């Protein structure tokens, strides 16, 4: 099974000058928890609902601050023709729940989440391993195999 078979194509890309409040409203209105941030056909980062709350509001930021202040600027991605297992292994290695999906022209065409895989793939061992890895605190100073950051 390939990533294209499970990915969600219901996503929004927001601009870097989008405010925390605007991002939260987009998430609410479209039932999203993850928004890629792009400018001039380039991905700059991504923001999650958790980023807005934990890195933004909980630290005293106003809803008028830019998402750039709380975003993650390292985007881990896969390609739509990669296998679901490959995507899952990247999620596990990177301790993340979502991957941006690119097409052959390196354009964003979807998002695949651990939930998408769990709902459709029916491999409890695979999804359980990812959940366990994601639940672990990130270890600082660890060197990861760079080939695991991106599938290609």
Residues 6+ apart with CB under 8 A from 79: 3, 101, 102, 103, 104, 151, 152
* Residue 109 domain boundaries: 3-136
pLDDT, tens only, 18-54 = 999 999 999 999 999 999 999 987 899 999 999 999 9
Domains held by the chain: number: 1
CATH number at residue 110: 3.10.580.10
In a domain, 23, yes or no: yes
So what's the pLDDT on residue 149?
42
In a domain, 145, yes or no: no
DSSP strand pairing (98-102 vs 77-79): parallel
The model's pTM is 0.76
pLDDT, tens only, 104-140 = 999 999 999 988 888 876 656 655 655 565 556 655 4
């Amino acid at each position: 099974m390939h990533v294209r078979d499970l990915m969600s194509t219901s996503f929004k890309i927001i601009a870097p000058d989008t405010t925390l409040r605007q991002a939260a409203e987009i998430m609410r209105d479209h039932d999203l928890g993850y928004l890629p941030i792009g400018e001039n056909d380039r991905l700059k980062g991504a923001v999650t609902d958790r980023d807005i709350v934990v890195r933004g509001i909980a630290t005293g930021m106003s809803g008028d601050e830019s998402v750039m202040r709380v975003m993650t600027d390292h985007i881990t991605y896969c390609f739509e023709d990669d296998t679901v297992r490959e995507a899952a292994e990247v999620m596990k290695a990177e301790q993340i729940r979502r991957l941006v999906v690119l097409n052959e022209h390196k354009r964003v065409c979807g998002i695949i989440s651990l939930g998408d895989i769990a709902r459709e793939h029916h491999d409890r061992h695979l999804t359980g391993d990812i959940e366990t890895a994601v639940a672990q605190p990130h270890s600082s100073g660890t060197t990861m195999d760079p080939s695991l950051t991106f599938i290609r």
